[in-house]
Chains A and B, each alone.
Chain A
Amino acid sequence: MAKLDAVDVVVVGAGLGGSALCARLSERAPHLRIVCLERGDWVDRSAMPAYRRDWQSAALGAWATSPNVRLSAGGSRSADYPIDDSASPIKPLLWNGVGGSTINWAAHVPRLHPSDFRTKTLDGVGDDWPFSYFDLEPYYDLNDTAMGIAGLAGDPAYPPKRSPRMPPVAIGRMGEAAARGFNAMGWHWWPADAAINTVDRGDRHACNNGGPCLMGCPIQAKASADIVYWPVALRNGVELRTHCVAQHVIVKGGRAIGLAYRDGNGATHEQPAAFTVVACNGIGTARLLLASNIGRGADGALGRHLMFHPIAYARGMFTEELDGPRGPVGACVYSHEFYEHRPGRPFTRGLQLQVTRENAPLHQAARLEPAWGEDAHTRLREEFRHSLPVMVVAEDLPDARNRVALAEGVAADGLPNIRVEYTLSENSRRILDFGLDRAEDMLHAAGAYRVARVPLAPLTGWHLLGTARMGDDPATSVTDGRGRCHAVANLIVADGSLFPTAGAVNPGATIAALALKIGDDLAREVGR
């Protein structure tokens, strides 16, 4: 193994957390030599399927959101590794390449609520975060400014947000139908905060409502870490090495002295560094740290407390024509009427009702039952451009039994195989059922003549959280509030695995804010 020149900081993973950290740290401490290792490559926007006639089938193959589906389809640009998800009803979804999972995210970027940082104190469940919403607020603002947020000020579900906003993404007929329903019920709703341009900004065009954001946005209307944070980090001198798979963190005498990694030609290298930052997401980080033996012994929490946001769907059928697959798929309107904990409900904590756009015709046809024969035509006729999906997003409470664990054997990338073990809790089930009932109330109030339910949607493991959680107690957490591993102080985590609790909103804004904060903390420590 070739030993390379030492650097100040080596970062693993050029996804959302890793990119934001690299940009911030390099800005605040320009004298540092920072290297980032990324297992995948830059995504080629001209290869994204949105311009092609076969774009619908691409989303079921090489451009699927599931790494396992992409691996079996072959030909993907994402540098995937297999994940054994047979013991989880929710399947992990992600992207491996520069930009990480923001390449195929929907860019709906709500913040956590202030109460989400204090669930133990306020509601007696989960754990408090080591800092408050208001400590993180300046970093939410920084991320908003970097990404560019379309949205509307004044949402009573949140403290006022100071960062500027572009006009909201058009909510269209579906958003307006939902608004009618929410208003009739007297419930909260608001247009989504979206990291999507609604006006041209520099090289990034305004969204033209093409639709399939989950296959990447070829016109760069949708923010992703590769186009938002990497230009800054590269300009500041951060070195990004693509096709480099970190194999293990090298620990000596209780300190991380660097990383072993394999490059695109299969050669292995040792990269010595004063600080090692791991940002490979809720699955990749646990995999790398478990493979490095960090989690054995005192750090028993590593890989555990995996939280998704369990998702159910209520789909209302309307006689009026709606927009179908027009518009950014995940950014429409949401309701936080049932977000905050309320004693007397059959569950603790809460949920988000997120109104989304519809699937493309092929995707809609492929999930219908029956999928063939005359009845299939009948079902699709009923739904296509006449259905309104409401996603019930449940807050999943941390449970040590839900975990990412090493499995037998070594994968092609040189790391141990990985498996996900997850059981939907009783509390999450009750949240989903309650949310489905409320979504159905709203849809009927909006004019739906029939509502179809999906009690738990399997291909919704977008949010991979909690597997290297922050906390004070090394028995129940992996890092402190600055992302430092309890067991190895100069080993830092900077991604979604840090979440002690998950709230009931999409985590991207919080992951970016956390990574920016950790970048600042580190810059302060090493001096500017």
Chain B
Amino acid sequence: MTSAFLRAIVDTLLPGDHRTPPLPSGTAAGVATELEHLVAGLDGALHNVVLHAVATAAGGQEAFVRADALGRIASVRTVEAEMPGPFRALVAVVLQDYYEADVVLLAMGWRAEPPQPQGHAVQPFDEALLGPVRRRGRMWR
């Protein structure tokens, strides 16, 4: 599996988004490098099947790389329809790497640090909102 092919797959699944705030592409977020490690490792077998199927649908890895965005999407959709389970598993690992990348979380206006130890600030509760409910009579039987 060539690196150019894996990068093309990753950026088809996770294209950059230029709206505001802009989001990096999967490759820019480091996902392609992670995927290269994964498919080279022991757990890569299932994902390799999907990747090979995409290459076949496109007429080869190089053809996929050369194709325009619409052509790549068409090849990926063919495989998604052919093997939905394994395809979903590939998408899941790609999403994991993407949405755990600092650069993506920050681009989304979120933060890179995990929930602890800082926690989050949540505004205090305005009890006056409960006025109408407090004025109701007993509801229980």
Measured between beta carbons, the chain B residues less than 8 angstroms from A191 are 125
Is A212 an interface residue when CB atoms closer than 8 A count as contact?
yes
User: Judging by beta carbons under 8 Å apart, are B133 and A190 in contact?
Assistant: yes
CA distance A385 to B120 in the complex (A): 14
**Interface 1/0 per residue, B3-28 and A, CB below 8 Å:** 00000000011110101000100000
Interface of B is mostly: loop
B100 A56 Cβ-Cβ under 8 A: yes
Indicate if the CB atoms of B125 and A336 lie closer than 8 Å.
Answer: no
Residues of A within 8 A of B91 (CB): 371-372
Q: Are B119 and A175 in contact (CB under 8 A)?
A: no
**Chain B residues whose CB sits within 8 angstroms of the CB of A158 once the complex forms:** 140
Contact A159 B139 (CB under 8 A): no
Q: Which of B115-141 contact A (CB under 8 A)?
A: 115-127, 129-130, 132-134, 136-141
Against A, the Cβ 8 Å flags (1 = close, 0 = not) of B104-116 are 0100111010111
Among residues 346 to 388 in chain A, which have CB atoms less than 8 Å away from a CB atom of chain B? 361-362, 365-366, 371-374, 376-377, 381, 384-385
Is B38's CB within 8 Å of the partner chain A?
A: no
- A326 vs B121: C-alpha distance when bound (angstroms): 8
Summed over the interface, the residue pairs from A and B with CB atoms below 8 Å come to a total of 147
- Using C-beta atoms within 8 Å of the partner chain, give the interface range for chain B: 35 or more
Are B17 and A170 in contact (CB-based, < 8 A)? no
Q: Are B114 and A51 in contact (CB under 8 A)?
A: yes
Complex contact B140–A157 (CB within 8 A): yes
Main secondary structure of the interface of A (DSSP, over half): loop
A172 part of interface (Cβ distance < 8 Å): yes
Is A210 interfacial (CB-CB < 8 Å)? yes
Q: Which residues of chain B are within 8 angstroms of A384 by Cβ–Cβ distance?
A: 108, 110
**Contact (Cβ within 8 A) A173 B123:** yes
List A contacts of B123 (CB < 8 A).
170, 172-173, 176
Tell me the bound Cα distance from A323 to B136 in angstroms. 29
A53 within 8 A of B: yes
In chain A, positions 18-64 with a C-beta closer than 8 Å to chain B are 49-57, 60
**B100 CB to nearest chain A CB (Å):** 6
Q: Does A385 contact B109, Cβ atoms closer than 8 Å?
A: yes
The reply on A152 being an interface residue by CB < 8 A is: yes
Assembled-state Cα–Cα distance A114/B23 (Å)? 52
User: Besides A190-B133, A210-B118, A385-B110, 5 other CB < 8 A contacts?
Assistant: A172-B123, A208-B118, A209-B120, A365-B95, A384-B110
**What are 9 contact pairs spanning A and B, CB under 8 A?**
A51-B117, A60-B92, A176-B123, A179-B129, A208-B116, A209-B119, A372-B94, A377-B15, A381-B19
Question: Which residues from chain A sit less than 8 Å from chain B, CB to CB?
Answer: 49-57, 60, 113-115, 122, 152, 154, 156-159, 167-168, 170-173, 175-176, 179-180, 182-183, 186, 188-191, 207-212, 218-219, 323-324, 326-327, 336, 339-340, 361-362, 365-366, 371-374, 376-377, 381, 384-385
